[in-house]
Chain A
Amino acid sequence: MSERRRSQDQGTDPENVFRDLFVHAAPRVHPPAADAEEIRRVVYGEWDALARGRKRVRRLGALAAAAAVVAAAVLLTVGRQPNAPVEAVAHVERLVGTVHVIAGGRTLPLQAGDDVARGATVTTGSGQVGLRLISGGSLRVAAQARVTLTAANEAELDAGAVYFDSEHAAARREPFAVVTAFGTLRDVGTQFAVIVDTARLEVGVREGRVALTRRTDSTAVATGEKVTVNGAAIRREPLSTFGADWAWAERLAPPFDTDGRRLIEVLEWVAAQTGRTLEFADATLERTARETVLSGSIDLEPLPKLVAVLAVTDPDLEYSIERDRLLITKN
């Protein structure tokens, strides 16, 4: 009797048996990102030295064994040159007002294009900043926030709000984590915002899903949901994926170079940045958008950029916004 048949005879769905067992499961512990980075760098140095030494030893093939051992030992030492992972974990992509960075005991104003090193703390005051993460994705920091980039894939949010957009970076090695005093959030192909103050944590998910892990439990926050953690209490409620709550993050949207891109790419970018679904009045318009290649670029926020692009592409093209829809029409 096949295993499947036997389980059916027993009235047990194999998938349900699996799910029943995993009711007892909890998320596995993740090593602290800062520790992981530190150990990676040290082990990398060890490996780099060893592998370089082996490479060179192979080239010395004709030498006597004793000489090769000596050479390897020497090269092992020489090979300890810093070729370790870069310290910078982000750079400044958007800057509004004055934002400071605290690193190495010094506080300095950030400039557009500046690198932000691992371990640096960003304090926004009345300013705002959009960061391009080296590990992929965009991290936007609202006014009155304080956030430390503890690793390539992790930020500690002490106060204020941040917005993370993974930009569908499927190649990410690990999820991006936002650590707060109330729990840790990890993305799975997501756009989400986190707000922290002294008493509570709020996380709102615009796209994808976020895992919120606290001491011993974990909960998922899905698209269009907001979860508030206040002490031991967790409140879950619906959340609009568009509108005023997200406006500050939209203003910090990363630059999008339209030169050589198809019109549909720009439209999809605007829809993603404003939390809306792109729709066309008819199939012909959609085909036109797929076939039209743009020339040149102008750096604007999403909606002003849409107006500019439509105007230069075809003056008869128009857009309208109806709640969660971005509709493209033609006069």
Chain B
Amino acid sequence: MVTEDLEERRLVKRMLAHDAQAFNAFFDGYFSRLYRFARTRLADDPEITKEIVHVTLTKAIRKLASYRGEASLFTWLCTICRNEISDHLDRVTRDRQHVVLTEDLPDVRAAVDALAAPATDEPEDRFRRLETTRLIQVALDKLPAHYGDALEWKYVYGFSVEEIAANLGVGVEAAQSLLARAKRAFHDVYGALTRDIVGGGTGDSGATEWS
């Protein structure tokens, strides 16, 4: 993660130096993830999401010189985005309950427990499965973009390592190595999302078994 932080600070530095490739890397690496971050917090409304993400990125660009790398770039963008969402909801309603994030709630334990539970059609089980699905997506979006993409291609779409290598423009061995790093990073992030729920031990979540 230290390397990632360093790379992010370099990316910002290059953007400030008017490097167009850096701008493209920034937009391609963060836009989709930020969009999903906003959309899940805005009742899945595409129009408002578009507006909020637009404003967030515009403000982020204006504040770019103030980014010091204390947090990851994505976390920094999410902070700006959270403020925008909060302002938006303040404008449209006083009911703040709509912005409570599920992954911040103790109830997430239920979602993790549901992994081992037999599938049923009960509404509560269905809700838990949906939440688990969403938590996996949250974890994928917290990873560097190419890690999240590679894991999604492999485990959601079922692509082979060769196909992932072709898609990333790297060799098969490099893709395998990247997948291994991505799995470890996912383990850390997903573990952090669920740690409070499973009593502070990653072993209870099964996460240690993915290394």
Residues of A within 8 A of B (CB): 3-4, 6-7, 10, 12, 14, 17-22, 24-32, 35-36, 38-40, 42-44, 46-48, 50-52, 54-55, 168, 170-171, 173-175, 188-189, 208-209, 211, 218, 220
Distance from B89 Cβ to chain A, minimum over Cβ atoms (Å): 21
Known: A28-B141, A54-B65. A43 touches B57 (CB 8 A): yes
**Beyond the given A18-B183, A32-B50, could you list 13 further A-B residue pairs with CB under 8 A, ordered by the A residue number?**
A4-B211, A21-B115, A22-B151, A24-B129, A28-B32, A28-B148, A31-B53, A43-B58, A47-B23, A47-B61, A51-B17, A54-B65, A188-B167
Q: Judge whether A21 and B136 touch: CB under 8 Å.
A: yes
Contacts of A48 in B (CB 8 A): 18
Q: Judge whether A25 and B36 touch: CB under 8 Å.
A: no
* Count of chain A to chain B residue pairs whose CB atoms are closer than 8 Å in the complex: 138
Contacts of A55 in B (CB 8 A): 17-18
Which partner residue on chain B sits nearest A29 by CB separation? B36
Contacts A/B (CB < 8 Å), 12 sampled: A21-B115, A22-B155, A24-B133, A25-B152, A28-B141, A31-B53, A32-B46, A36-B32, A42-B58, A52-B18, A54-B17, A209-B159
What does the 1/0 interface line of B125-157 toward A look like (CB < 8 Å)? 000010011001100110000001001110111
Q: Judge whether A26 and B141 touch: CB under 8 Å.
A: no
Q: Judge whether B54 and A36 touch: CB under 8 Å.
A: no
Known: A43-B27, A47-B23, A189-B163. A27 touches B157 (CB 8 A): yes
Known: A25-B136, A220-B157. A31 touches B32 (CB 8 A): yes
Q: Judge whether B141 and A170 touch: CB under 8 Å.
A: no
Q: Judge whether A46 and B61 touch: CB under 8 Å.
A: yes
Known: A27-B156, A173-B28, A189-B167. A35 touches B46 (CB 8 A): yes
Contacts of B58 in A (CB 8 A): 42-43, 46
